[in-house]
Amino acid sequence: MDFNAEYRKRTAEIESVITSYLPNEEGYQKIIMEAMNYSFLAGGKRLRPMLMSETYRLFGGKSKVIEPFMAAIEMIHTYSLVHDDLPAMDNDEYRRGKETTWKVYGEAMGILAGDALLNYAFETAARAFDMEPQNAGLGKALQILAKKAGIFGMVGGQVVDVQSENDTAMTKEKLDFIYRLKTSALIESSMLIGAVLAGATRNEQNIIEEVAEKVGLAFQIQDDILDVTSTMEVLGKPIGSDEKNHKVTYVTYEGLEKSKADVKQLSEEAISRMESLVVKNEFLTELLRYLISREK
């Protein structure tokens, strides 16, 4: 398999699927659709919908019912970035080389665009009930989508992360908690929803959740590493933003070398756990390897 060619092909397919769920820009409230679509179309690796779709494929899923959930998870990821960038949060003016949503549309519209994306994620996911009204996995998938995005998932992680500025009482346990919730939660959500909708067994779901947790952790630590070692040209946003915000990160806490070693170990554990499954998806395994060794 030519991974790079396959990766480009599948990324394009996913882009086509998820953008088809964006709202038309029309009506008195047109500006909010513009702000939502601006945020959503500002780039990104589409990692979460890709992991969802590949996990769905791994367990033999073949229906289009996965598509609204693929769009939904990317909308949730996008809303979290829109709100994270707000002046009262990280106060970032650039992301992926483009101006952030609040910078283009103003602060009030930045708040509302995030709200709108979060809400539209659930509106979009709920369209699956029209596609397969009898599918008993849909309720479960919606529960996962909500739980992993909320106070016991991503929002919970953001909260402790916001509080970790100048945190002199940081512990390894607390740092792992932040990373597990802030980043792993949506990766877990993506892969678990793929597994559930494809009819994976309970045991298979548990393995997938473990893999996703490790991948998420490794991914976030790699992000911290790049914030220190990369350049604005490669990254598309200012480097050193964690230091600017006085954030305690994995890198400031554990040091650069230990962080790099932990990324390696976590990714090896994730792949070995994935390979313990009877079902196989070669592309997905390669994808996990690729994500963790990325340079941006």
Residues lying near a copy of itself in the complex (CB under 8 A) are found at 23, 27-29, 31-33, 36, 79, 83, 86-89, 107-112, 114-116, 118-120, 122-123, 126-127, 129-130, 133, 136, 138-140, 142-143, 145-147, 149-151, 155-160, 162-163, 174, 177-178, 181
The nearest distance, CB 275 to a copy of itself, in angstroms, is 33
Nearer to a copy of itself, 160 or 239 (CB): 160
85 vs 204 by CB, closer to a copy of itself: 85
Residue number with CB closer to a copy of itself (149 or 187): 149
Judged by beta carbon, residue 97 or residue 139, the one nearer a copy of itself is: 139
Closer to a copy of itself by Cβ: residue 1 or 133: 133
Between 119 and 265, name the residue whose CB sits nearer to a copy of itself: 119
Q: What angle do CA 242, 248, 249 make, to 5 degrees?
A: 70
Min CB(180)–a copy of itself separation in Å: 11
DSSP string, 90-106: T--SEETTEE-HHHHH-
SS (H, E, C) 222-235: HHHHHHHHCCHHHH
The nearest distance, CB 63 to a copy of itself, in angstroms, is 16
| Least distance in angstroms from the C-beta of 214 to a copy of itself | 20
CB of 23 to a copy of itself, least distance (A): 6
CB of 87 to a copy of itself, least distance (A): 8
